[in-house]
Amino acid sequence: MNVSIVLFTADLRLHDHPPLRAALKAGEVIPLFVRDTGVASAGFAAPNRLAFLADCLRDLDSGLRERGGRLIVRSGDVVEEVCKVATETDAREVHMAGDVSAYAQLREQRLRRALEAEGRRLHVHDTVTTAVAPGAVTPAASDHFAVFTPYYRQWSGVRLRAAPAAPREIRVLDGVGSEQLPARTGLQGVSEGLAEGGETAGRERLARWLRTGITSYEDRHDDLAGDGTSRLSPHLHFGTLSPVELVHRARGAGGPGAEAFLRQLAWRDFHRQVLAARPAAATADYRTKRDRWRTERTAHEDVRAWKEGRTGYPVIDAAMRQLRHEGWIHNRGRLLAASFLTKTLYVDWRVGARYFLELLVDGDVASNQLNWQWMAGTGTDSRPNRVLNPVTQASRYDPDGVYVRRWVPELAAVEGPSVHQPWKLKGPDRAATEDYPDPIVELSAGLARFRRGRDRD
Ligand code: FAD
């Protein structure tokens, strides 16, 4: 009987898994996950994501066991480990999902070369980590879309493949050695409020979202306190949910909420097709404005205040404290925190992107770096000088100050929207907030750096 390896990477699920289905068609499989030392040495192994990953691997192993199989875990260089397992088991084929970062692209090339040198074949499946494959739709004169709206138009017209349920039975080759599954326990620096990982948790959240959340998404997605978004991002990042399935299910739900949600899923694919075509955009300006950014060294105190959530701008501080506590921030909070760092403090977007990646459970090279670039004005935004004013934005998206009071206890006693400008409080109200810092920068001073051609939101 033929034996094939299924190399799981950012697709830690059994539902709608094209590599697994293709391998099962050919015979017995070896479901393999390699704890890639390359990821750790690139500084990408953040505690929150390691904890979520541990949940995902345990759940994947349970799902495989329920179907007669199990997960094989190895550690080391991914190419070496896959080749070792292939030699041990005489697997002729390896199936895996395509991915977009420079690291993933290089991993794929190295793996293909190493396997072919031994007479084996690598099959890379697209539409596993995206709904529409990078490069599947392109404008006439380029290899990728640099503007979202025309991309979205084409993306919406792509006919997606079906998204089948998990196989009932999974025949796994006996006798292949595995390390123990990693565990959450013992990991240092994990956020207290971190969500649970794994396909089971992801599918439960998805079912709840389709039942109770998606209908009001259009109206509620920008309400900072209302928490009216799906919180599915970590599941999309680790692939415990399939983007193709999500698009089908949202289309099935229908209505303006589902439309707005689909648009966000398209944003995810949009950034992935940009990164696939321009992998250097993970670290270099996509469209440079020749900024002379302040750096972590030259703006040390400001950067520290931003990271600690002590800038004196309550909505920024609330977002940064949510990040530390949950390993996740509401999208509007991310936008505000990124605008404040890059446009108001004029600090290099890479400083912020790096810090987000240290903590975000959904921390993802494509979505994180390209959203940071979008906000910094070096990415795909057609209004690169856009500045988000934290006071007016807070009044709009946290009108009663509920979000701020939730995350900034020093301001918990301040009622109503005046919580957004504690420096204006007088008398006993002011005294009650004395533990909260004064603003580290005047907004006008920050904004003045962008006097020319500035847009204010
Ligand atoms: P929902 O509003 O429910 O949206 C559904 C899904 O659409 C999300 O789960 C996500 O996969 C996708 N999505 C939504 N908005 C975007 C967007 N602007 N770009 C790409 N995909 C999007 N998202 C990440 O997944 N990982 C990151 O590392 C990341 N870093 C970000 C950094 C900054 C500075 C900004 C402004 C945004 C970042 N985002 C990132 C995008 C977005 O903020 C999150 O995807 C979203 O907040 C996740 O919450 P949700 O699942 O409830 O989203």
Instruction: Provide the pLDDT for residue 447.
Output: 52
CB 273 within 8 A of CB 99: no
| pLDDT tens digits for range 396-435 | 999 999 999 999 999 999 999 999 999 999 988 888 899 9
Q: How far apart are the C-alpha atoms of 299 and 376, rounded to whole Å?
A: 16
Query: Residues spanned by CATH 3.40.50.620 within the chain?
Result: 2-127
Ligand 1: does its nearest atom lie under 6 Å from the Cβ of 264? yes
| CA 328–ligand 1 middle distance (angstroms) | 10
| pLDDT tens digits for range 314-348 | 999 999 999 999 999 999 999 999 999 999 999 99
Strands 72-76 and 93-97: unpaired
Which run of H or of E encompasses 236? helix 233-238
Ligand 1 pocket mutation pick from 130, 241, 274, 331 by most atoms within 8 angstroms of CB? 331
What percentage of the chain reaches a pLDDT higher than 70? 97
Ligand 1: does its nearest atom lie under 6 Å from the Cβ of 372? yes
| CA 219–ligand 1 middle distance (angstroms) | 17
Q: How far apart are the C-alpha atoms of 172 and 68, rounded to whole Å?
A: 7
Which run of H or of E encompasses 34? strand 27-36
Minimal-distance CA residue to ligand 1 atom 45: 233
Query: Residues spanned by CATH 1.10.579.10 within the chain?
Result: 300-456
Dihedral Cα 392, 393, 394, 400, nearest 10 deg:
80
Structure token digits, residue 149: 């709206």
Give the pLDDT band of residue 455 (cuts 50, 70, 90). very low
Q: How far apart are the C-alpha atoms of 423 and 60, rounded to whole Å?
A: 51
Return the CATH number of the domain spanning residue range 130-161+200-277.
1.25.40.80
- CA 456: distance to chain centroid? 27
CB 69 within 8 A of CB 3: no
Per DSSP, 172 falls in state: B
Cα–Cα–Cα angle for 310, 311, 314, rounded to 5 degrees: 85
Query: Residues spanned by CATH 1.25.40.80 within the chain?
Result: 130-161+200-277
Handedness of CA 175, 21, 242, 374 (dihedral sign): positive
Instruction: Provide the pLDDT for residue 446.
Output: 54
Determine the angle formed by the axes of helices 390-397 and 314-326, rounding to 10 degrees. Answer: 70
Minimal-distance CA residue to ligand 1 atom 22: 268
Q: Would you call 227 helix, strand, or coil by DSSP?
A: coil
Return the CATH number of the domain spanning residue range 2-127.
3.40.50.620
Ligand 1: does its nearest atom lie under 6 Å from the Cβ of 214? no
- How far the first Cα of the chain sits from its last, in Å, is 63
| CA 125–ligand 1 middle distance (angstroms) | 24
| Ligand 1 atom nearest residue 352's Cα | 34
If you average pLDDT over residues 300-326, what whole number do you get?
A: 98
- The fold of the 300-456 domain, in CATH, is DNA Cyclobutane Dipyrimidine Photolyase, subunit A; domain 3 (1.10.579)
CB 121 within 8 A of CB 91: no
Instruction: Provide the pLDDT for residue 457.
Output: 54
Instruction: Provide the pLDDT for residue 448.
Output: 52
Minimal-distance CA residue to ligand 1 atom 14: 264
Instruction: Provide the pLDDT for residue 454.
Output: 46
**Global confidence as pTM:** 0.96
Give the pLDDT band of residue 202 (cuts 50, 70, 90). very high
Give the pLDDT band of residue 263 (cuts 50, 70, 90). very high
Ligand 1: does its nearest atom lie under 6 Å from the Cβ of 344? no
If you average pLDDT over residues 84-106, what whole number do you get?
A: 96
